[in-house]
Structure 1
Amino acid sequence: MSTWELTRREVLQRSGLGLGSLGLLGVLADDGRAATADPLSPQGAHFPGRAKRVIHFFLNGGPSHVDTFDPKPALSKYAGQPVPNTLRTERKTGAAFPSPFAFHRHGDSGLEISEIFSRTAA
């Protein structure tokens, strides 16, 4: 049979925490903050709404930035090869693949834009 040996310091610490939590509960109950209301229940808005209708667009996916406005010439160097360990990436995904689309410079700034957006770039 095991016996617990508590020092006076441990007894005072444990009883102090218990009494302190009872005191805190009393203070919060006076403020109405100790209520057991569901925190996920709908609550009133901070400001009254003015919108009559809302149109919500959820666009899942889309073209990659590497295929549109952000060419990565270094990807051609590693095309189809495993990513070297010296290259720091967010996660290892296997092989590197460059964009299959050609990039051309457009406008006064010379921004490289993919052939996907050839009419936008003109």
Structure 2
Amino acid sequence: MKLLVATSKTQGARENDFDHCVEGELIWIAPSCTEGDTSPDSECGCSRAFGGLNSHCGTTTALVAELPGFTYSDYTEALRSSLADQGWPPEAADEVATGLLAFASGWEVGTVLERRCEWFAERLVPAPPG
């Protein structure tokens, strides 16, 4: 099963990168706040971040990883628990899992991704600052 996990790879390629997650932690793509919707470089950082399911912290880089033996049921339970802990509706876990699995399936294992609002790209080389 291909999933997104937190990674420190390519951190620092952008001046406003941050990595407050645990390396290898399952992550999700949380909706942006109003400020984040206006710019991926907003102070809050939510529209350039992926959110850690355990730490509830953010990172600006995600790794597409293969997690053998990890089941859909395992994934939805991890999402359900995290969503509930963070005040999101836990009943959304199935829908979120389906969307994230479809998203991850479009990328090769080992790909490092960055987010800029609703635009996602592979980080091949360091991006220019800012």
Whether TM-score is above 0.5 comes out as no
Larger RCO (CA within 8 A; separation ≥ 6): 2
Structure-2-length-normalised TM-score = 0.17
Query: Over alpha carbons, which structure has the higher Rg?
Result: 1
Q: Structure 1 length normalisation: TM-score?
A: 0.18
